[in-house]
């Protein structure tokens, strides 16, 4: 996995170019079609691309060389993540997509030998997919300690009961990691929950539905499920780490995840920005006069350029700080990039739609896909409002009342 | 049709309450399901509601009493339109939905006796639906004089060739009005085009597809078609008004249409606002602490209230001016409400989604439907940017260089 | 005073035109010079204008005809206030400026016969000026019940001790109304304070300084003082109303005051808007190409027009509601216009400065004066943030948790 | 002068700390008073501080060690500039203030030996001050080729006639550099102008006035003059570089100047940010409840933090690119930081004022000074709108119509 002790790549520029070429040549020509679905019908084609990526030595860039990856540092992977983010298929084809990458990190750091052998290895090879069941429809996600799902220890097993949703990519996955209350009597609400692995062929697990989101339920990797656990019995050795460590582990999972997400968003921004510029040049308003000559359009292009550049510099700077000083030291920066980049992302997409006119609201370009499916960026992993408050409170601790 | 000479309704408040009750009792319980579709499966239920509306004397409120309507003034109808706008089904059930209402206005004002008998009457009774083919994929809609579709006079007929899209609700409609160039040699680009009625069983007409828009192609009333006219031959008496009058007639159609649209948007805003407030009160962050206590949420509620109130007052004021002085005198106001209200609409929807959290991006509420399908509000009928420029240029004519 | 029972003016349009002419012909030519000061040097000229206003029957438009005014309704006066607001001198010359107009309203409604004779009458005639001492430097104005100033009853007198600032126009005034705690033991914090009249020749009163605000301390009417009350002894009959009524009376004073302020701001907006348009037309970028052709400038003009129109309609609507249903019924609207119009005001001024370029930051136009001295609009009479929260909380009372 | 060939400072952190200490200990305690003026009365105190800076080896950090400076690279100086920017006196005390620093750069690069000896050396030592006369009241600054000032060659002299304003710090300066048309017949408008040095004791030079800007005319270093040149005769060897090179030289002057300005703005942002946080903590709304607990305040703090961080990273990245690839290669970035940072600056100041409430609009803090005197940041050195357009046009050159 990504490790700050990895040696810096001396040929990073060359590696990045390989990713760039792959994304442009292999993914750009098909990604619009694939997102139009049905996704499963494209699985053979996508699997062939995964094989190609493996042959090129580009597969699973986040893994150590020993694990079959490239042994990149967090900062190096950040650059890769931006490139992959330019296509909705990028991270998937290279097996470094959420939620699998987060689950790999978790199991790598905290999984038992048994868990690594049974769940991590096939995940790293791209043989299976996984998911992560945390958010609950009945509880506000902005306060994650509100959890109703329970995993009760009975002998050598946990009996899980609960209701989750936004379990991304559950459809087609082999196992999920569930966040559930194991220690309701713990002193702190942050010590009540644990993470437990549930294979999805368990009879106590039910995929209620792929939630229709912004006009489509999707399927497989492109879906978010509502799931239920009813007296779902799993062996006690499916517990990750120790009881009560759920939130500690979740925190570990979130830090680098924020970097991956933000760089993916910046990748989207760059693709969208490029579409916006191309459209401005292509669209004639009257003979010889293109949209590109309109000052309002120019303003949007300039402001988007500034905001994307600012986003990238902030995320890379945060990654650097995480590498050098650890995720805890970069806590404020991690909150900052969450709300800053999510906001830029939605603004850039919105401007590009407006530049495209009627075409922009159709599904004939990727703009509609991102406009719809990235709206969640301002909500998931903690709504922007929560991050702003927590950043401000952290800053204000440095000031005492005079 | 709406006529400024209509006598003011003395019991307007009572009439509006009847509409409010109908919308709340008959439409709110079903509208989420209907927009989830398939729309056609709900046609029997919707037709039953139309019958009910007729019995209550509320059907086609925009028509004169002689035509079977209520004989409302533009300002009175504006109030009705806001109420109907609270449900995506409102205008449809009462047969005053776009594009039919605009077509009825056109035919009422400029149709020949033949056209009125054959096309207008069944439209007014809700027996058929119609559509309006103007926008072309190859030409920027912001400059409407860019038209490639041609209607060539040959003897007693017009031969139409062209490619249109965003022909709203073409699927299931009986006829369309087509905007086409009849007089390519006219002095002014504004005098080149005409409006011609094309019955949709014409073999020269082809519905290429219902365009997938923001995740769904929809069908019937809830769809926007791409259509083609290939040597499409219609009798010359299908021309509305005179040759070259296309843009003049379009202008007539747009003025009151702007009022209807804007009031419909305000109706959406009110429903969305109410959902946002209800969610804020319902959502617990911790025991006894709801989202409603968060100042950011309060800011959004306050700002939305202010902006919705401002929107309504501006649209009603514009309607009043149109009634009293005609659409031409209110040209600046008509541009103003277009961009002002469209912007408010999208801001209010966006805030409501954020308040709903993960639920807000699902299709389990109407928010996603409006977020997706009203994004076009800032584009259709002239993008906001065009209206701003034209408003400013009109204002600046009052200033001379010193 | 303004009274909803006043008969509507049948010739309102004519009256408004008289004000328009006066402002344009008498005030526009001199107002830039006067605000550059020193203000006192212009008092003879301004007094002559007041005499002229009296002769024309336009003086003190807010007073009843019996009191020497025009007997306007709140709504009628709102229109006058907008016109006067176009010049920084408007309200002053017509003796309807803050804080005098608010004090007149207070004394008219709640003053004793003695107070009316001694303080109200000369104020109405414009023979003296007054001020209002409420805000305290040590206490957050956003929570007005935080008051340190005390008025202790001793026999037939009150002994006042306290420190106030932003006592507008204290320099040159004859008396102030002081908000002070008289009943510290009252159950509610809203019943602790009273209003007491203090003649400014009282030895216990000290004008510490005219506070330098945004680059200038100003003087006389154009100033805001820091003042101190040290064992300041005034007769008990200087109490307005009854002990503990301070906040109730303040509330009465604020409602119509909000209308006056907001319409004054709209007047400023209109003058500024006009300057912006004129500058856009005048400023050549290259031969024959003016700033007015730039789309960004056009956007600002269009957005400003929309926002100013929206502001006016909202304020007039609020005034109408206050007239018809009383200030209490219009509580939400009164909060709404406060933050909405203050925000529009600052945005319009800011755009006009940008259009003026370097000239815009000089004191060679009125823009700098308003940019600096209206920044307070978002702060005084309750910061915008307080109004937003209180509006939202009032709205949310209509929603119950389901 | 700053030179990319300077050796990197190995002890940069230590040097920066020295500047930080100096600014906090020597400037923070006096700067509010000094900006309240009169500036000249503080000259002895400021000169003493300059001497102190010299003794500490911190004076003129931008100069090479040979010239008596620190020999910093552009990137290193950028860090210093941020620290100095935290006080309105910082750059002045260390003799690296605009416009002198730009003039030093110009003369260093393009001055003749005579000019270096006579004008540059005393400037570098801080013995004299200088100014730069470019902007003209009659011509739009956004199109700098619009110049009316003329320098006509007559024998061994230039005769200069023209009218300039915003000649910063002319009051008290020893010479100005004037931008004037020398070659009206040149092919390109960019080749018409030259730069000429005018000693200010020249009888053809007149300081018309220190322009009152945002409430104060200021004096000496804190002033911007309107000046006139009337048959102002200077020796031909006062020409800098060659005839027609005016705009080329101006461009050279602007690049690094943008970095200095932007870092200075970021310094202001940091001081203002700190004031905002301190105020939030200090201000009690009710016993035990401070402003810092309000979510709106927290939002402003979080957003400001994000925007300031983004600004700094962008400016430093631009400085790095300029060092590595030259100013031309960084042209887009230089435009980007201009409008991005100027916007952030004004937003942060505005929020801090609002957090300070009434105090924020007084001159009792530095907020008012910066609110007023940095408003020009969005205008000078090319208004933001010009930079946005030119950035967009430069980007769009990479896109061809398909």
Instruction: Give dist(CA A402, CA D164) in Å, integer.
Output: 48
Which residues on chain B are in Cβ contact (under 8 Å) with C389?
A: 295, 298-299, 302
Instruction: Return per-residue pLDDT of chain A as tens, 402 residues.
Output: 776 566 777 799 999 999 999 999 999 999 999 999 999 999 999 999 999 999 999 999 999 999 989 999 999 999 999 999 999 999 999 999 999 999 999 999 999 999 999 999 999 999 999 999 999 999 987 777 889 999 999 999 999 999 999 999 999 999 999 999 999 999 999 999 999 999 999 999 999 999 999 999 999 999 999 999 999 999 999 999 999 999 999 887 777 889 999 999 999 999 999 999 999 999 999 888 999 999 999 999 999 999 999 999 999 999 999 999 998 999 999 999 999 999 999 999 999 999 999 999 999 999 999 999 999 999 998 899 999 999 999 999 999 998
Which residue of chain B has the CA closest to A147?
B286
B28 touches chain A (CB under 8 A): no
Residue D129's φ and ψ, nearest 5 degrees, are -120, 165
Rounded distance between C-alpha atoms, residue B234 and residue B198, angstroms: 7
Q: Note the residue count of chain C.
A: 402
Tokens at D330, concatenated: 């960084």
D104: its two tokens: 């030093």
Q: How far apart are CA B94 and CA B257, in angstroms?
A: 16
pLDDT on residue A140: 85
Distance from CA of C16 to the nearest CA of D (A): 33
Cβ–Cβ contact D165 with C under 8 A = yes
A294 to chain D: closest CA residue: D389
What would the pLDDT profile of D275-305 be if each residue is shown by its tens digit?
999 999 999 998 889 999 999 999 999 999 9
D372 touches chain C (CB under 8 A): yes
DSSP secondary structure of A361-385 = HBTTSSHHHHHHHSGGGGTTTS-HH
Q: Give the span between the Cα atoms of A5 and B388, in whole angstroms.
A: 56
Q: How far apart are CA B296 and CA A357, in angstroms?
A: 32
Closest CA–CA distance from residue B65 to any residue of chain A (Å): 38
Structure tokens at A135: 């958010």
CB pairs below 8 Å between C and D: how many? 122
Q: Residues A180, A182, A187, A191: what is their CA dihedral angle, to the nearest 10 degrees?
A: -50
How far is the alpha carbon of C138 from chain A, nearest alpha carbon, in Å? 13
- Minimum CA–CA partner of B294 in chain D: D295
Which residue of chain D has the CA closest to B295? D295
Digits of tens for pLDDT over chain B (402 positions)?
676 566 777 799 999 999 999 999 999 999 999 999 999 999 999 999 999 999 999 999 999 999 989 999 999 999 999 999 999 999 999 999 999 999 999 999 999 999 999 999 999 999 999 999 999 999 987 777 889 999 999 999 999 999 999 999 999 999 999 999 999 999 999 999 999 999 999 999 999 999 999 999 999 999 999 999 999 999 999 999 999 999 999 887 777 889 999 999 999 999 999 999 999 999 999 888 999 999 999 999 999 999 999 999 999 999 999 999 998 999 999 999 999 999 999 999 999 999 999 999 999 999 999 999 999 999 998 899 999 999 999 999 999 998
- Cα(C298)–Cα(C304) distance, rounded to whole angstroms? 10
- pLDDT value at residue A5: 63
**Is D278–A402 a contact, with Cβ atoms under 8 angstroms apart?**
yes
Q: C246-282 vs C295-325: helix axis angle to the nearest 10? A: 150
Q: Which residues pair with A150 in a beta bridge?
A: A161, A181
Yes or no: say if C233 and C205 are a contact pair by the CB < 8 Å rule.
no
Chain C residues inside the 8 Å CB shell of B282:
401-402
Q: How many CB atoms lie within 10 A of CB B109?
A: 13
Query: How far apart, in whole angstroms, are the C-alpha atoms of residue D367 and residue C372?
Result: 12
Q: For D21-66, what is each residue's pLDDT tens digit?
A: 999 999 999 999 999 999 999 999 999 999 999 999 999 999 999 9
DSSP D15-82: HHHHHHHHIIIIITTTHHHHHHS-GGGGHHHHHHHHHHHHHTT-SSTTS-TTTTS----HHHHHHHHH
Q: What is the pLDDT of residue C251?
A: 83
CB contact under 8 A, C306 and B277: no
Q: Do B309 and C305 touch (CB under 8 A)?
A: no
SS3 A178: strand
Q: Which residues of C touch D140 (CB under 8 A)?
A: 283-285, 291, 357
**Residue A255: what pLDDT?**
77
Residues of D in contact with B299 (CB under 8 A): 296
Q: Which residue has 């920027």 as its token pair? A: B140
List CB contacts (< 8 A) between D384 and chain C: 354
B300 vs D contacts (CB less than 8 Å): none
With vertex at residue C98, the alpha carbon angle to CA C92 and CA C100, rounded to the nearest 5 degrees, is 85
Judge contact between B362 and A212, C-beta under 8 A: yes
In order, the DSSP letters of A323-350 are: HHH-TTTTHHHHHHHHHHHHHHHHHHHH
A398 neighbourhood in chain D, CB within 8 Å: 277
- Going by C-alpha positions, the residue among A357, A377, A376 that lies closest to residue A297 is A357
Percent of the residues in chain D that have a pLDDT greater than 70, as a whole number: 99
Q: Which of A301, A310, A332 to mutate to test the interface with D (most CBs of D within 10 A)?
A: A310
Compute the distance between CA of residue B172 and CA of residue B232 in angstroms, rounded to an integer.
19
The shortest C-alpha distance from D209 to chain B (Å) reads 25
Looking at residue A6, what is its pLDDT? 65
B387 vs C302: CB contact, 8 Å cut-off? Answer: yes
Task: Please tell me if residue D339 touches chain A, with a CB cutoff of 8 Å.
Answer: yes
Residue among A294, A379, A385 minimizing CB distance to B358: A379
pTM score above 0.90: yes
Look at A313 and D314 and tell me if their CB atoms are within 8 Å: yes
Q: C362 CB near a chain D CB, below 8 Å?
A: yes
What are the structural domains of chain A? 12-111 (1.10.540.10), 130-240 (2.40.110.10), 247-396 (1.20.140.10)
Backbone angles phi, psi at D179, to 5 degrees: -95, 120
B50 interfacial to chain D (CB closer than 8 Å) = no
Q: Would an 8 Å CB–CB cutoff place C301 in contact with chain B?
A: yes
pLDDT tens per residue, range D156-201: 999 999 999 999 999 999 999 999 999 999 999 999 999 999 999 9
- List subunits contacting chain D, requiring 3 or more Cβ pairs under 8 Å: A, B, C
Burial B58-91 (b: 16+ CB within 10 A, else e): bbbbbbbeebbbbbbbbbbbbbbbbbbbbbbbbb
Neighboring chain B residues of C400 at a CB cutoff of 8 Å: 281
Q: Are A101 and A72 in contact (CB under 8 A)?
A: no
Q: Are D213 and D164 in contact (CB under 8 A)?
A: no
- From the list D212, D285, D378, the residue facing C363 with the nearest CB is D212
The reply to whether C139 touches chain B by the CB within 8 Å rule is no
On whether the CB atoms of residues A277 and A143 are closer than 8 A, the answer is no
Tell me what pLDDT residue D6 has. 65
d(CA D362, CA C373): 10
pLDDT at B5: 63
A299 contacts in chain C (CB < 8 Å): 296
Tell me the sheet residues that pair with A206: A228
**Residue A69: enclosing H or E segment and its boundaries?**
none
Tell which C residues from 267 to 296 touch A, by Cβ distance under 8 Å. Answer: 294-296
The closest alpha carbon to C152, from C201, C196, C207, belongs to: C196
**D146 neighbourhood in chain C, CB within 8 Å:** 284-286
CA C18 to CA C57: how far, in whole Å? Answer: 10
Residue D364 pLDDT > 80: yes
Q: Which of residues 178-197 of A touch B (CB under 8 A)?
A: none
Task: Look at strands D224-235 and D205-210 and give their pairing.
Answer: antiparallel
On the CB side of B377, CA atoms within 13 Å amount to 29
Q: For residues C257 and C102, is the Cβ–Cβ distance under 8 A? A: yes
Residue ranges of chain C whose pLDDT lies below 70: 3-6
Q: Say if the ipTM goes beyond 0.85.
A: yes
Name C72's Cβ contacts closer than 8 Å, sequence gap at least 6. C2, C6, C9, C61, C62, C80
Helix (H) or strand (E) holding B163: strand B157-168
């Amino acid at each position: 996995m990504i490790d700050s002790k990895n040696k810096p790549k001396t040929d990073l520029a060359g590696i990045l170019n390989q990713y760039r070429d792959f994304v442009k040549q292999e993914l750009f020509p098909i990604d619009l079609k694939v997102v139009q679905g049905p996704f499963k019908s494209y699985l053979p084609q996508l699997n062939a691309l995964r094989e190609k990526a493996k042959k090129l030595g580009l597969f699973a860039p986040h893994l150590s060389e020993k694990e079959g990856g490239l042994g990149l540092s967090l900062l190096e992977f950040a650059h890769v993540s931006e490139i992959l983010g330019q296509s909705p298929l990028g991270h998937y084809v290279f097996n470094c997509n959420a939620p699998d990458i987060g689950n790999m990190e978790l199991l790598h750091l905290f999984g038992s030998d048994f868990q690594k052998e049974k769940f991590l290895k096939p995940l790293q090879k791209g043989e299976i997919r996984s998911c992560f069941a945390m958010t609950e429809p009945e509880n506000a996600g902005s306060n994650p300690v509100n959890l109703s799902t329970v995993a009760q220890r009975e002998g050598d097993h946990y009996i899980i009961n609960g209701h989750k949703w936004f379990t991304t990519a559950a459809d087609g996955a082999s196992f999920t990691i569930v966040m559930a209350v194991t220690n309701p009597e713990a002193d702190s609400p942050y010590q009540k929950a644990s993470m437990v692995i549930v294979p999805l062929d368990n009879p106590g697990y039910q995929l209620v539905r792929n939630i229709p989101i912004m006009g489509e339920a999707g399927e497989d990797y492109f879906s978010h499920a509502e799931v239920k656990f009813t007296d779902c019995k799993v062996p006690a050795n499916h517990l990750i780490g120790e009881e009560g460590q759920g939130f500690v582990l979740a925190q570990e999972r979130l830090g680098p995840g924020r970097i991956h997400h933000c760089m993916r968003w910046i990748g989207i921004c760059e693709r969208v920005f490029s579409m916006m510029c191309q459209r401005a040049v292509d669209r004639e308003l009257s003979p010889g006069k293109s949209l590109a000559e309109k000052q309002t359009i120019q303003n949007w292009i300039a402001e988007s350029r500034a905001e994307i550049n600012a986003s990238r510099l902030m995320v890379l700077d945060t990654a650097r700080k995480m590498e050098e000083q650890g995720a805890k030291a970069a806590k404020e920066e991690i909150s900052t990039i969450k709300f800053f980049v999510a906001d830029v992302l939605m603004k850039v997409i919105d401007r590009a739609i407006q530049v495209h006119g009627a075409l922009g609201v159709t599904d004939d370009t990727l703009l509609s896909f991102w406009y719809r499916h990235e709206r969640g960026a301002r909500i998931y992993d903690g709504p922007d409002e929560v991050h702003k408050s927590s950043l401000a409170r952290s800053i204000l601790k440095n000031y005492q009342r005079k």
